[in-house]
A and B are shown apart, each in its own frame.
Chain A
Amino acid sequence: MRRVFSRRQKFTIVNGILAIVAVITMLQLWLLDATMNAFLGGVGAVVTPAALASVACLLLNVGLLWYLYRLERR
């Protein structure tokens, strides 16, 4: 059975998810900066693992957003 949240509870959940997504996105920005720096410095070995880590962050973000939309429909 699906749990129905009050608007106040939904508000807390949305704020929490927004904070997590913001932190993950900032982490991705740092990762992109570090990868670009390494690539321009001739270090190519870190490029692919960094890209995979960034994709993992995106999937996590998409999952959290999907949960938010599902929350709206309740």
Chain B
Amino acid sequence: MRPDDPERLSVPPDGRAFHDQPQWRNDFPIDWPQDELIARRDFTKFLVLTSLAFVVGQAWIVAKNFARGRRGEPPVRRIASLDAVPVGGAITFTYPGPQDTCILLRTAEDRFVAYSQKCTHLSCAVTPRPEENCLHCPCHNGFFDLATGIPTAGPPRRPLPRIILEARGGDLYATGIEVRA
């Protein structure tokens, strides 16, 4: 037994007190009860590091939110002429940026709807199925209502962002994006 720690079962090989030993000898003790104590402390340390990682994630969302606030209003852009899309047909376009693929659908003679083509689950491209009145995501079998963009089946939980359309003369224009929770 060591006088500096009477509960320790082992004695360091050089005979000096535990607090005079190198750090590694205290971090990897031979005594089973002491080892259990250290293992639980280290697991707590690991959880605190995980907690730090979550804070970093939150900070990243704050930064993205700040960037989104600075982006300003989306532009007004011509998509297509009204008669370029047949009833039941669809075309793709990009809005507001060149990487943001969207899909324009003509559901009736005088009715057009447009959505972001990125599935709200994991951003795969959704494809229209007018005969089933839905949009389908082939990656994980997600389904969205064609008329509203609301998820109806599969893993997606949020509706597709809706592109606000405006008819001017014989043309269709995208004037904004409605992101819905």
Q: Do A and B come from one complex?
A: yes
B62 at interface, CB cutoff 8 A: yes
B114 CB to nearest chain A CB (Å):
17
Say which size band chain B's interface belongs to: 20 to 34
Residues of chain A lying within 8 A (CB to CB) of residue B50: 25
Q: Is the interface of B mostly helix, strand, loop or mixed?
A: helix
Q: Which residue of B lies closest to A35 (CB)?
A: B61
Instruction: Give A contacts to B, CB under 8 Å.
Output: 6-7, 10-11, 14-15, 17-18, 21-22, 24-25, 28-29, 31-32, 35-44, 47-48, 50-51, 54-55, 57-58, 61-62, 64-65, 68-69, 72
A19 CB to nearest chain B CB (Å):
10
Known: A25-B51, A28-B51. A11 touches B37 (CB 8 A): yes
Instruction: Give B contacts to A, CB under 8 Å.
Output: 7, 33-34, 36-37, 40-41, 43-45, 47-48, 50-52, 54-55, 57-59, 61-62, 64-65, 68-69, 120, 157-158, 161, 178-181
Q: Is the interface of A mostly helix, strand, loop or mixed?
A: helix
Q: Assess the A54–B48 pair: CB atoms within 8 A.
A: no
